[in-house]
Amino acid sequence: MAAPPSHLIAIYPGSFDPITNGHLDLIARGSRVVERLIVAVLRNDSKQALFSVEERMEIVREVVRPYSNVEVGSFDGLLVDYAAERGANLILRGIRAISDYEYELQMALMNRRLRPELETAFLMAGEAYSFLSSHLVKEVVSLGGDVSGLVPPMVEARLKKRFGHHANTTRTS
Protein backbone atom coordinates (compact mmCIF):
# COMPACT_ATOMS: atom_id res chain seq x y z
CA MET A 1 0.00 0.00 0.00
CA ALA A 2 1.38 3.41 -0.97
CA ALA A 3 2.20 5.98 1.67
CA PRO A 4 -0.09 9.00 1.75
CA PRO A 5 1.48 12.08 0.11
CA SER A 6 2.12 13.71 3.48
CA HIS A 7 4.43 10.82 4.37
CA LEU A 8 6.64 10.90 1.31
CA ILE A 9 10.30 10.86 2.24
CA ALA A 10 12.49 11.26 -0.81
CA ILE A 11 16.16 10.76 -1.55
CA TYR A 12 17.72 12.95 -4.23
CA PRO A 13 21.07 11.26 -4.94
CA GLY A 14 24.00 12.58 -6.92
CA SER A 15 27.65 13.47 -6.91
CA PHE A 16 26.91 17.23 -6.69
CA ASP A 17 30.51 18.00 -7.74
CA PRO A 18 29.59 20.84 -7.73
CA ILE A 19 25.91 21.49 -7.04
CA THR A 20 24.38 23.62 -9.81
CA ASN A 21 21.32 25.83 -10.07
CA GLY A 22 19.73 22.95 -11.99
CA HIS A 23 20.13 20.74 -8.91
CA LEU A 24 18.76 23.52 -6.73
CA ASP A 25 15.74 23.92 -9.00
CA LEU A 26 14.95 20.22 -8.53
CA ILE A 27 15.50 20.50 -4.77
CA ALA A 28 13.15 23.48 -4.53
CA ARG A 29 10.44 21.78 -6.58
CA GLY A 30 10.92 18.39 -4.91
CA SER A 31 10.76 19.88 -1.43
CA ARG A 32 7.27 21.20 -2.18
CA VAL A 33 5.85 17.73 -2.86
CA VAL A 34 7.42 15.61 -0.13
CA GLU A 35 7.45 15.73 3.64
CA ARG A 36 11.26 15.32 3.78
CA LEU A 37 13.87 15.49 1.07
CA ILE A 38 17.31 14.01 1.69
CA VAL A 39 20.00 15.25 -0.68
CA ALA A 40 22.39 12.29 -0.72
CA VAL A 41 25.96 12.91 -1.83
CA LEU A 42 27.49 9.82 -3.43
CA ARG A 43 30.82 8.59 -2.08
CA ASN A 44 32.55 7.05 -5.08
CA ASP A 45 36.27 6.60 -4.53
CA SER A 46 36.76 5.29 -8.06
CA LYS A 47 35.82 8.70 -9.50
CA GLN A 48 38.18 11.67 -9.28
CA ALA A 49 36.04 14.40 -7.69
CA LEU A 50 36.97 18.07 -7.64
CA PHE A 51 35.61 18.50 -4.11
CA SER A 52 35.76 15.93 -1.30
CA VAL A 53 32.53 14.40 -0.03
CA GLU A 54 32.83 16.53 3.12
CA GLU A 55 33.28 19.72 1.06
CA ARG A 56 30.32 18.83 -1.17
CA MET A 57 28.13 18.14 1.86
CA GLU A 58 29.17 21.47 3.41
CA ILE A 59 28.37 23.32 0.17
CA VAL A 60 25.02 21.56 -0.25
CA ARG A 61 24.05 22.24 3.39
CA GLU A 62 24.79 25.92 2.86
CA VAL A 63 22.72 26.29 -0.31
CA VAL A 64 19.70 24.25 0.90
CA ARG A 65 19.47 26.15 4.20
CA PRO A 66 16.29 28.01 3.05
CA TYR A 67 14.39 24.70 2.78
CA SER A 68 13.28 23.54 6.22
CA ASN A 69 12.38 20.02 5.07
CA VAL A 70 15.66 19.35 3.22
CA GLU A 71 18.58 17.57 4.84
CA VAL A 72 21.94 16.39 3.55
CA GLY A 73 23.59 12.99 3.87
CA SER A 74 26.08 10.82 2.05
CA PHE A 75 26.18 7.21 0.99
CA ASP A 76 28.18 4.57 -0.80
CA GLY A 77 26.98 1.20 -1.97
CA LEU A 78 23.44 0.64 -3.15
CA LEU A 79 21.10 3.62 -3.15
CA VAL A 80 18.17 1.36 -2.25
CA ASP A 81 19.97 0.27 0.94
CA TYR A 82 20.64 3.88 1.91
CA ALA A 83 16.99 4.76 1.20
CA ALA A 84 15.84 1.93 3.48
CA GLU A 85 18.27 3.09 6.20
CA ARG A 86 16.82 6.60 6.03
CA GLY A 87 13.19 5.47 5.86
CA ALA A 88 12.72 6.89 2.37
CA ASN A 89 9.97 5.62 0.10
CA LEU A 90 10.79 7.68 -3.00
CA ILE A 91 13.85 8.35 -5.14
CA LEU A 92 13.78 11.73 -6.86
CA ARG A 93 15.68 12.07 -10.13
CA GLY A 94 15.98 14.84 -12.68
CA ILE A 95 15.85 14.40 -16.42
CA ARG A 96 17.35 16.92 -18.83
CA ALA A 97 17.10 15.07 -22.15
CA ILE A 98 16.09 11.79 -23.76
CA SER A 99 19.61 10.46 -23.18
CA ASP A 100 19.13 10.94 -19.41
CA TYR A 101 15.82 9.07 -19.57
CA GLU A 102 17.36 5.88 -20.98
CA TYR A 103 19.95 5.68 -18.19
CA GLU A 104 17.50 6.73 -15.46
CA LEU A 105 14.92 4.18 -16.62
CA GLN A 106 17.48 1.37 -16.32
CA MET A 107 18.42 2.52 -12.82
CA ALA A 108 14.79 2.89 -11.74
CA LEU A 109 13.90 -0.60 -12.96
CA MET A 110 16.91 -2.14 -11.22
CA ASN A 111 16.07 -0.28 -8.01
CA ARG A 112 12.47 -1.51 -8.27
CA ARG A 113 13.73 -5.07 -8.68
CA LEU A 114 15.94 -4.71 -5.60
CA ARG A 115 13.30 -2.93 -3.46
CA PRO A 116 9.80 -3.02 -5.01
CA GLU A 117 8.38 -0.80 -2.24
CA LEU A 118 10.68 2.09 -3.24
CA GLU A 119 9.27 4.29 -6.01
CA THR A 120 11.20 6.55 -8.38
CA ALA A 121 9.83 9.90 -9.54
CA PHE A 122 11.32 11.91 -12.37
CA LEU A 123 11.17 15.69 -12.56
CA MET A 124 11.93 17.40 -15.82
CA ALA A 125 14.76 19.91 -15.61
CA GLY A 126 13.68 23.53 -15.68
CA GLU A 127 14.05 24.95 -19.18
CA ALA A 128 16.82 27.32 -18.09
CA TYR A 129 18.91 24.40 -16.83
CA SER A 130 18.14 21.63 -19.34
CA PHE A 131 21.69 21.75 -20.74
CA LEU A 132 23.50 22.12 -17.42
CA SER A 133 25.74 19.53 -15.79
CA SER A 134 28.41 19.65 -13.08
CA HIS A 135 30.93 18.35 -15.61
CA LEU A 136 30.17 21.21 -18.01
CA VAL A 137 30.43 23.79 -15.22
CA LYS A 138 33.86 22.45 -14.17
CA GLU A 139 35.07 22.47 -17.76
CA VAL A 140 33.96 26.07 -18.36
CA VAL A 141 35.55 27.33 -15.13
CA SER A 142 38.78 25.43 -15.82
CA LEU A 143 39.02 27.25 -19.16
CA GLY A 144 38.40 30.65 -17.54
CA GLY A 145 34.73 30.96 -18.54
CA ASP A 146 31.88 32.61 -16.65
CA VAL A 147 29.42 30.33 -14.84
CA SER A 148 27.55 33.03 -12.92
CA GLY A 149 23.85 32.24 -12.91
CA LEU A 150 24.56 28.54 -13.39
CA VAL A 151 25.76 27.83 -9.84
CA PRO A 152 25.12 29.61 -6.52
CA PRO A 153 27.59 32.50 -5.96
CA MET A 154 29.39 30.68 -3.13
CA VAL A 155 29.91 27.68 -5.41
CA GLU A 156 31.27 29.93 -8.15
CA ALA A 157 33.72 31.45 -5.64
CA ARG A 158 34.89 27.99 -4.53
CA LEU A 159 35.31 26.86 -8.12
CA LYS A 160 37.39 29.93 -9.00
CA LYS A 161 39.53 29.37 -5.92
CA ARG A 162 39.98 25.67 -6.74
CA PHE A 163 40.97 26.37 -10.34
CA GLY A 164 42.82 29.60 -9.56
CA HIS A 165 41.57 33.05 -10.53
CA HIS A 166 43.36 32.91 -13.86
CA ALA A 167 42.57 29.32 -14.80
CA ASN A 168 44.13 28.38 -18.10
CA THR A 169 44.88 31.95 -19.18
CA THR A 170 47.80 30.84 -21.35
CA ARG A 171 45.66 30.34 -24.46
CA THR A 172 47.20 30.63 -27.87
CA SER A 173 45.51 32.27 -30.82
> Which residue among 47, 165, 166, 171 is the active-site one?
47
Q: What angle do CA 151, 86, 39 make, to 5 degrees?
A: 5
Residue 23 annotated among the catalytic residues of the structure: yes
Which residues are bridge partners to 93 per DSSP?
Answer: 122
What confidence score (pLDDT) does residue 121 get?
Answer: 97
Give the CA distances from residue 49 to residues 30, 53, 74, in Å, rounded to whole numbers and listed in that order. Answer: 26, 8, 14
What confidence score (pLDDT) does residue 171 get?
Answer: 41
What confidence score (pLDDT) does residue 45 get?
Answer: 78
Residue 166 annotated among the catalytic residues of the structure: no
Residue-wise pLDDT for 90-132, tens only, equals 999 999 988 889 999 999 999 999 999 999 999 999 999 999 9
What pTM was computed for the model?
A: 0.89
**Which CATH topology does 5-130 take?**
Rossmann fold (3.40.50)
Residue 47 annotated among the catalytic residues of the structure: yes
> Which residue among 96, 112, 115, 160 is the active-site one?
96
Which residues are bridge partners to 39 per DSSP?
Answer: 12, 72
Q: Which of 17, 64, 16, 77 is nearest to 37 (CA)?
A: 64
The Cα 118–Cα 83 span in angstroms is 8
Q: Which of 59, 68, 79 is nearest to 37 (CA)?
A: 68
Residue 96 annotated among the catalytic residues of the structure: yes
Residues of the chain with pLDDT under 70: 1-6, 165-173
The Cα 42–Cα 13 span in angstroms is 7
